Structure 1
Amino acid sequence: MPDKGVIGFISQSGALGTAVLDWAKTNDIGLSKFVSMGNKADISEINLFEDWLDDNKTNVITAYLEGVTNGNEFMRVCNKVTKKKPIIIVKSGNTMAGAKAVSSHTGTLAGSSRAYDAAFKQTGVIRAKTIKDLFNFAIAFAHQPLPKGNKIVIITNAGGPGIMASDACEENKMQLAKIDIQTVEILKSFLPSASNFYNPVDVLGDALADRYGKTFEIILKDKNVNAIIVILTPQAMTQGLDTAKALVNAIKESCREIPVITSFMGGSEVKKGVDYLNKNGIPNFTIPEEAVQALRVMIDQEIWMAKKEDSKKIFKSDKDKVKNIFEKSIREGRLELGEMESRGILEAYGIRVPIAKVARDLKEARGVIKLTGYPVVLKIDSPDILHKTDVGGIKIGIKNSKELEESYESIMSNVKKYMPSAKINGISIQEMIESKKETIIGINKDSQFGPMIMFGLGGIYVEILKDVSFRIAPISPTDAREMIEEIKTIKLLKGVRGEKPSDIESIVEVLLKISQLVTDFPDIIEMDINPLFVKEEGKGSIAGDVRIRIQE
């Protein structure tokens, strides 16, 4: 069995659990608790997380999970626990093949991988890709303080690994600390002239323990530094064990609460030094990139623990109107709502939609124009047609009566050709929204976590670009803003090349209103607002098209 430590481990696979026990013993990783849950007939990870929250012998909670059975309760407990100690999880069953294997293995529905990603983000859970990553992160948390910022110093005796660590820092959105000028001058006073005195600090390949030790001592005094990564590669004269001792002594004498992690690279040549570091609570990683990844999750944990809870915002709504629309649809045996019904639901929650009316023939269409004016958009109104563009069911930029007549007849002809059995309510004639960006807000009901909200670049390209973010409802204003910031095309909304910025705050409001809607009415299993037209800053957002599907 492994030695006693401060890491608790839960496994939903018994066989994996026994392998982890042996692996932990081999690698001198101490465990405080070990639980194999199997198919969770009596206890679950939720029970254990809650129990270990107040366990003073467990500082880090780790788990291998194939699924959860109560998503909302899982999120509630994780949100509470992670404010005090980290939870690191490897979640399997992320592909279709894996999901099928999970179902047959423990009888647990795997759920959407994106839903787990969203739930973990919202509750501060750290998702590890592999068991090795899980324990790399856990070891760092177990023995080192959390960094008070993301400014990192790299100390190395080899240029290549120093560059690798620098690249990894940038890729993980961590800054290389700007070393204080006084610190630089002191380094210049004793390091060889060929050294690099800035960051990464290169003490050169011939560095003995005393050169490393003095460098540690000086860097630890620099208040611009939030964390230190020490890299050592074994050269002919390298003193691995003595360098490890010099580092431990420098940390003790500095009396600073600062995370220091190492990457003593190699094997037998550095083993004594690595063993000494491990015994003194300094985690060592085989390559610099692993050290950087461990620091990244530690920084994220510090940010999460300092994050304040948002106050919930409740919007005025007409629930009775929505309830009546749903009841009518169910009575008529329809689970897919018509466009005008879907528009009515958005209006009930104060979400702006274009001026529109359904025309059953050209005569009615001409009458609607008196209300909307030109230009307009024509869209087929049918509960059987989900993707109007695919069947030639949309015409935009109609500017006069001739174009109105031609477009109306064209849409009817296209729909009869491609979907002859579709039920047609008519053609919706809408005011055309100009000077806007197109985004999308979507809802999909996950089997474990309930309604999952999606945001991204909209229009016809959403399925191609897949530039989207997800959260589990209900969401907070901070969640909504983070969703918007996560998409790669955020710069388009913020304004590029002289364009005015879009009204991002109006997107936040729509996301929150949709979150409230699907929380109030869990019968909604799918929804797409595509596109959500976003006007320039201060002019709001408008739901151009909406599709809603409900459960029986």
Structure 2
Amino acid sequence: MASTPHLPASRGLDALFAPRSIAVVGASHDIRRIRGRLLKLLIDGGFGGPVHPVNPSRAQIQGLRAYPSVRDLPEPVDLALIAVAADQVMEVLAECEQRGVRAAAVLSAGANGVPVGERLQDQVAAFARRTGIRVLGPNAEGFIDATTGLLATFSPTIETLPPRREDGTRGGISIVSQSGAMAFALYSRAHAEHVPVRHLVSTGNESDVELLEVVDHLIARGGSRAILLFVEGLHHPERLAPVAARAADAGVPLVVAKVGRSTAGQRAAVSHTAHLTGADTAYDAAFRRHGVIRVDDPEQMLAVAAAASAGMWPQGRRVAIVTTSGGAGGWAADICEQAGLDVPAFDEAFKRELARVVPDYGSTENPVDVTARVAEDGGSTLLAILARLGEASGIDIGLVIMSLVAPGRITSIEPELKALMAQAKRPLLFHSPGAASPDERAALARVGTAHVELRSFAFAMRALDDYRLFRERRQGRHGAASTDRTRPAMPRLAGQGPLDIAATRALLDAWHVPMPPESLATQADEAVRAAEAMGWPVVLKIASPDIAHKTEAGGVALDLRDADAVRTAFERVMASVAAKAPCARIDGIQVQKMMPPGREMVVGTVNDPDFGPMVMLGLGGIYVEVLRDVVFALAPLDAGEARGMVDRLAARALLDGVRGQPAADVDALVGLLVAVSELAAAGAGEIAEMDLNPVLVYPAGQGAVVVDALIVPQPPAMQAQDKQRS
């Protein structure tokens, strides 16, 4: 598979993150102050190149010769760490340009409440664009590179918890965060779990260097087993796809905690789809499309990091649980199954093998109850069971539950357990129901495994297996021959409201979206002739660009079976609409062949300003906004992604047939989703929203059809903005 190229914007970061020489501007002799701690950590970390303090008030600082200004440096340095008052930053950056400095990290924070364009970050951004000097920050808390001893930060966390070196049993992970506080909070948690942190970068206000550039740079550097990201919002969301592709090619999972709000769904919306779009829907869809693991809390994030650091990559979801307590094993089994893992029954041959070492009063079922014997025999029973578990078929993951409150249970068998772990063919992790001793946690890390909490363990194993499946699907898509069919040209769409019936039908027909026979009538007799031509029964619907929801205006009449019924309904619909929407423009009445009942679904699209068109699927009819069982994905979709949307519905079982009902034609629904997604992708600059509701899905082999459709063009102003972005 061809690798994803570097992002052009990530060039020039070597001077920032791998400098040969550094100036600390604003350095202080007082290590209790930020400016003093910054220099002290840089010296203590063992950075191998020259370090030049810059401060006009001292000739020597912390044992190093100091210089009055950047202009007075004895050489042009690669990196300037700037820790001066905010109103002095731009003057220092100007000196950096004059002295040939290649990169800068601005640790100073500008004042709040300053108008856009006048903020420190705006001035720094303009400087970086003009000069080409790469700038991290402002308001960054710095970065570390544990592989070279480069500690370019003032964080007291690093002073208290120096980076751990990788020892071969654990690989390093990296942390990139828009919040400095969260970056070092995650670092401290990783340190407590004995997970080595290879790189940490706090990006601050991202006037120039932004989070995804840093991620791309770290992937290119290599060596990270996972990259943890704390994200408030992506400044350049279009970079996510190439960066995530590069990470997938390298086998480096991106694990993201995303907070804050996107701009999706904040404008006035016409369709059900847009109303149902949450603040974070687009980020969810983008992360799922690109194989990014999204977490809800630090425990989940660190569980994934610990498993990845220890090389614990599951090849499936079948968990074997070994426990000293039947109750704890049952609890763990429940949690695993709730998370989507499987706790299968062992085959009889394996149970007979376990019976050789499990006490008679224990259990060889899954979960395996070895009782308290493991505390009485020096760990020989546990080691014997784990050795057998390592050879068992039908198991992908092992979980050992035993008390590690008192020191000694792991340290006493550390050499034997390390040898066993070195031969393990599947993840094998430990959980202590009581608070695990720090010594035992450290011993687990030394042997190449980790202590985990139950829910975060289940999440991590499911997430990493999902990541494996994502990479397999991605490789399959890269290796498959292209089957793209010729697609029609997307017409220009005009107007401020929904498209009329003719334009809507033309678009859906062009993209092979199935609809019933229909015709537009302006008089009752014309409606009768149309109904007779298409066959009874029929439906009448008001045709108006000003009425998005026809039922609410009394603009629909169903199950009309003869000419008199059509004439009566025609007049009734026109009168109702005139009363309830007197200002609405009326094009006529749509006469449509009434389709037989089917499973009602809703399919729609909305155009997110950050990630482009998204497709929505949910339970349809009048319940879509009540039950809100909806899922979203970025357009366009392939058949596998469309089927994945169907499978993610909470009401998925309804499509399989319940209480004697036949299974629905999921293949036809998948095909319809793909077609709609291709239309949405082609119309990204033209279509704001689509709402196909209801979509009737018939029994397997009988197809699916769109009964009602609403298409809203992008307003002209939005179309102009889309063209500027492209």
- TM-score, normalised via structure 1 length: 0.89
Q: Which amino acid aligns with 2:246?
A: K
| SS of equivalent to 2:356 | helix
Q: Which residue of 1 aligns with 2:425?
A: 257
| SS of equivalent to 1:262 | strand
Distance 1:279 1:442 in 2: 52
- Choose which of 570, 595, 610 in structure 2 pairs with 1:448: 610
Equivalent residues of 1:380, 1:393 under 8 A apart:
yes
Query: How big is the shift at 1:113?
Result: 1.4
Structure 1, 454-463 or 174-183: larger mean CA deviation: 174-183
Query: How big is the shift at 1:409?
Result: 2.2
Q: Which residue of 2 aligns with 1:75?
A: 241
Q: Which residue of 1 aligns with 2:220?
A: 54
Equivalent residues of 1:212, 1:243 under 8 A apart:
no
Q: Which residue of 1 aligns with 2:39?
A: none
| Distance of aligned partners of 1:464 and 1:315 in 2 relative to their CA distance in 1, 3 Å threshold | farther
Q: Which amino acid aligns with 1:39?
A: N
Cα-to-partner distance string for 1:10-41 (whole Å, 9 max, x where unaligned): 10112322333344444443211111112322
Distance 1:261 1:12 in 2: 31
Structure 1, 177-186 or 33-42: larger mean CA deviation: 177-186
Distance 1:25 1:85 in 2: 20
| Distance of aligned partners of 1:397 and 1:245 in 2 relative to their CA distance in 1, 3 Å threshold | farther
- Choose which of 168, 190, 193 in structure 1 pairs with 2:335: 168
- Choose which of 323, 326, 350 in structure 2 pairs with 1:159: 326
| SS of equivalent to 1:409 | helix
Distance 2:527 2:501 in 1: 17
| Distance of aligned partners of 1:352 and 1:177 in 2 relative to their CA distance in 1, 3 Å threshold | closer
| SS of equivalent to 1:303 | helix
| SS of equivalent to 2:449 | coil
Distance 1:27 1:227 in 2: 20
- Choose which of 348, 367, 379 in structure 1 pairs with 2:510: 348
Structure number with greater CO (CA < 8 Å, separation at least 6) is 1
Distance 1:156 1:481 in 2: 38
Largest Rg, 1 or 2: 2
Distance 1:315 1:542 in 2: 21
Residue pairs, 1:81-92, within 5 angstroms? 81-83=247-249, 84-92=251-259
- Choose which of 336, 357, 361 in structure 2 pairs with 1:194: 361
Cα-to-partner distance string for 1:159-212 (whole Å, 9 max, x where unaligned): 222111101221122222433433322332332211011111111134322222
Equivalent residues of 1:178, 1:224 under 8 A apart:
no
Structure 2, unaligned runs of 5 or more: 1-157, 167-171, 267-276, 717-726
| Distance of aligned partners of 1:300 and 1:244 in 2 relative to their CA distance in 1, 3 Å threshold | farther
Distance 1:284 1:398 in 2: 67
Equivalent residues of 2:336, 2:343 under 8 A apart:
yes
- Choose which of 659, 682, 691 in structure 2 pairs with 1:528: 691
Distance 1:235 1:32 in 2: 30
Residue pairs, 1:374-385, within 5 angstroms? 374-385=536-547
Distance 2:278 2:631 in 1: 17
- Choose which of 641, 646, 650 in structure 2 pairs with 1:479: 641
- Choose which of 373, 389, 410 in structure 1 pairs with 2:551: 389
**Residue 299 (str. 1) matches residue 299 (str. 2):** no
Distance 1:148 1:344 in 2: 47
Q: Which residue of 1 aligns with 2:74?
A: none
Distance 1:251 1:487 in 2: 39
- Choose which of 453, 457, 460 in structure 1 pairs with 2:619: 457
Query: How big is the shift at 1:235?
Result: 8.3
Cα RMSD between the aligned structures? 2.6
Query: How big is the shift at 1:338?
Result: 1.6
- Choose which of 288, 298, 317 in structure 1 pairs with 2:454: 288
Distance 1:174 1:336 in 2: 45
- Choose which of 398, 419, 442 in structure 2 pairs with 1:275: 442
Q: Which amino acid aligns with 2:630?
A: V
Cα-to-partner distance string for 1:299-332 (whole Å, 9 max, x where unaligned): 222222222216554344442xx515x2xxx2xx
Distance 2:586 2:496 in 1: 14
- Choose which of 187, 210, 218 in structure 2 pairs with 1:21: 187
Query: How big is the shift at 1:448?
Result: 0.9
| SS of equivalent to 2:187 | helix
| Distance of aligned partners of 1:14 and 1:128 in 2 relative to their CA distance in 1, 3 Å threshold | same
Structure 1, unaligned runs of 5 or more: 100-109
Query: How big is the shift at 1:43?
Result: 2.1
Structure 1, 222-231 or 174-183: larger mean CA deviation: 174-183
Distance 2:520 2:427 in 1: 64
| Distance of aligned partners of 1:26 and 1:485 in 2 relative to their CA distance in 1, 3 Å threshold | closer
| SS of equivalent to 1:404 | helix
| SS of equivalent to 2:411 | helix
Equivalent residues of 2:195, 2:309 under 8 A apart:
no
Q: Which amino acid aligns with 2:258?
A: K
- Choose which of 97, 120, 133 in structure 1 pairs with 2:300: 133
Q: Which amino acid aligns with 2:693?
A: N
Q: Which residue of 2 aligns with 1:436?
A: 598
Residue pairs, 1:194-233, within 5 angstroms? 194-208=361-375, 209-233=379-403
| SS of equivalent to 2:615 | strand
Cα-to-partner distance string for 1:76-98 (whole Å, 9 max, x where unaligned): 321331242111000112599xx
| Distance of aligned partners of 1:288 and 1:248 in 2 relative to their CA distance in 1, 3 Å threshold | farther
| SS of equivalent to 1:175 | coil
**Residue 30 (str. 1) matches residue 196 (str. 2):** yes
Query: How big is the shift at 1:397?
Result: 0.6
Query: How big is the shift at 1:348?
Result: 1.7
Q: Which residue of 1 aligns with 2:110?
A: none
Query: How big is the shift at 1:136?
Result: 1.5
Q: Which amino acid aligns with 2:558?
A: I
| Distance of aligned partners of 1:151 and 1:132 in 2 relative to their CA distance in 1, 3 Å threshold | closer
Aligned residues: 529
| SS of equivalent to 1:230 | strand
| SS of equivalent to 1:33 | strand
| Distance of aligned partners of 1:446 and 1:414 in 2 relative to their CA distance in 1, 3 Å threshold | same
Residue pairs, 1:316-335, within 5 angstroms? 316-319=486-489, 323=491, 326=493, 330=494, 333-335=495-497
| SS of equivalent to 2:374 | coil
Identity in percent: 28
Query: How big is the shift at 1:238?
Result: 8.3
Cα-to-partner distance string for 1:358-404 (whole Å, 9 max, x where unaligned): 22221222222232222001111111111112222111111122322
| Distance of aligned partners of 1:396 and 1:78 in 2 relative to their CA distance in 1, 3 Å threshold | same
Equivalent residues of 1:477, 1:508 under 8 A apart:
yes
Distance 2:282 2:189 in 1: 31
- TM-score, normalised via structure 2 length: 0.69
Distance 1:400 1:80 in 2: 62
Q: Which amino acid aligns with 2:561?
A: K
